[in-house]
Amino acid sequence: MRNDRRRRSCVQEVKTVNQQQTLYQPKISRKRWQKIWRNWELYLFIAPAFLYFLIFHYGPMYGIQIAFKNYNPVRGVFGSSWVGFDHFVRFFESYYFWDLMWNTLSISLYELAVGFPIPIILALAFNELKHKRFKKLVQTVTYAPHFISVVVMVGMVIAFLSPSTGILIRFVEWMGIDAPAFLTSPAWFKTVYVLSGVWQSAGWGTIIYLAALSAVDPGLHEAAIIDGANRLQRIRHINIPVLVPTMTILLILNMGSLLGVGFEKILLMQNPLNMESSDVISTFVYRSGLENAQYSFSTAVGLFNSVINAFLLVTVNQIVRKTSENSLW
């Protein structure tokens, strides 16, 4: 009898809980819609960005499946035959796999080692300038290259480094030095690529660091000056610690695009003589997909590139999360 009563009481409690949940769910959904309606201006404001990513970034993802198929434009995506991981195996076993990986990684690491600290150094230097007009002039000069298109910038590089008409080549030869073939030598391609990219983007990259430095309390510098700290000591113990969270986030994002070397600039600077060091994954995907019409194979290579970048992003973020509080999530 006691066991039956206990069972009945338990069943009754479960029924009451379920009834409370069913009564509570409409209230929750109604409150959510009320909040959305109350803040409809904010949702309308973010709607264009949401639609942009939904249509142009998430929508085309259905085409990823052709990396696992032998895509035929006549049959379409769903009518093409399924081949599994054959395209990935073909890429991994190809003779150019390690060359592409080495060129992509070396250019990315070279660009990260040179291009990452320079905006930080420039931001610290700009922050110490007291003459406002001179500071604005220097910032304008360093920001201006960012607004030059890649095509124009590569044209400027060719104009300066051309073996026949290059200004820098003529200057080096005037000094009695044999000028190397910057545009055609595989040994010089990565240096020219990285330094030209740093020249174009370093000034623009200082903006986010200057915004972080604007949050520094001037009283800290005044107290440090009273204690006898010089300028370098104040930069080291006050300004740099403020920049550490921003530096960490940007470093994580850069590591997430370690294999994402853009193909536009490399394609414009590429020629048969420097192909040995200029051929990267993105240019290979471009040639395979558009020039050779190997759509499935190029999609598989691009998917491999994206998966590795995502893996690096998550891994580096987890490492930073365990060692500090400055992580993406």
Task: Give the HSE-up count for residue 324: Cα atoms under 13 Å, Cβ half-sphere.
Answer: 13
| Unique residue bearing structure tokens 């048969």 | 272
List, in sequence order, every residue forming a beta bridge with 70; answer none if it has no partner: 81
- Where in the chain are the domains? 1-38, 47-84, 93-323
How many helices (H) and strands (E) the chain has is answered by: 17, 2
| Unique residue bearing structure tokens 């409150």 | 31
pLDDT attached to residue 40: 85
pLDDT attached to residue 73: 85
* Separation CA 142–CA 198 (nearest Å): 11
* Separation CA 280–CA 266 (nearest Å): 8
Residue 173 token pair:
């030869």
List, in sequence order, every residue forming a beta bridge with 82; answer none if it has no partner: 69
203 three-class SS: helix
* Separation CA 121–CA 114 (nearest Å): 11
pLDDT attached to residue 11: 45
* Separation CA 294–CA 126 (nearest Å): 49
Residues 6+ apart with CB under 8 A from 76: none
**What's this model's pTM, rounded to 2 decimal places?**
0.82
At residue 310, what is the residue type?
A
| Per-residue pLDDT tens listing for the chain (329 residues) | 444 555 555 545 545 545 544 444 455 567 778 787 888 888 889 999 999 999 998 888 888 899 999 988 888 888 888 999 999 999 999 999 999 999 999 999 999 999 999 999 999 999 988 888 998 999 999 999 999 999 999 999 999 998 888 888 888 888 888 888 888 899 999 999 999 999 999 999 999 999 999 888 888 888 999 888 898 999 999 999 999 999 999 998 888 888 888 788 999 999 999 999 999 999 999 999 888 889 999 999 999 998 999 998 889 888 888 887 777 77
pLDDT attached to residue 165: 80
If you ran DSSP here, which 8-state letter would residue 96 be given? T
* Separation CA 151–CA 249 (nearest Å): 30
Q: What DSSP line would sit under 211-239, residue for residue?
A: HHHTTS-HHHHHHHHHTT--HHHHIIIII
* Separation CA 200–CA 96 (nearest Å): 31
* Separation CA 162–CA 184 (nearest Å): 10
Residue 308 token pair:
């590795």
pLDDT attached to residue 13: 52
Residue 207 token pair:
């903006």
* Separation CA 117–CA 99 (nearest Å): 28
Domain 93-323: give its CATH code. Answer: 1.10.3720.10
pLDDT attached to residue 196: 93
Judged on CB neighbours under 10 Å (0-12, 13-18, 19+), 100 is buried
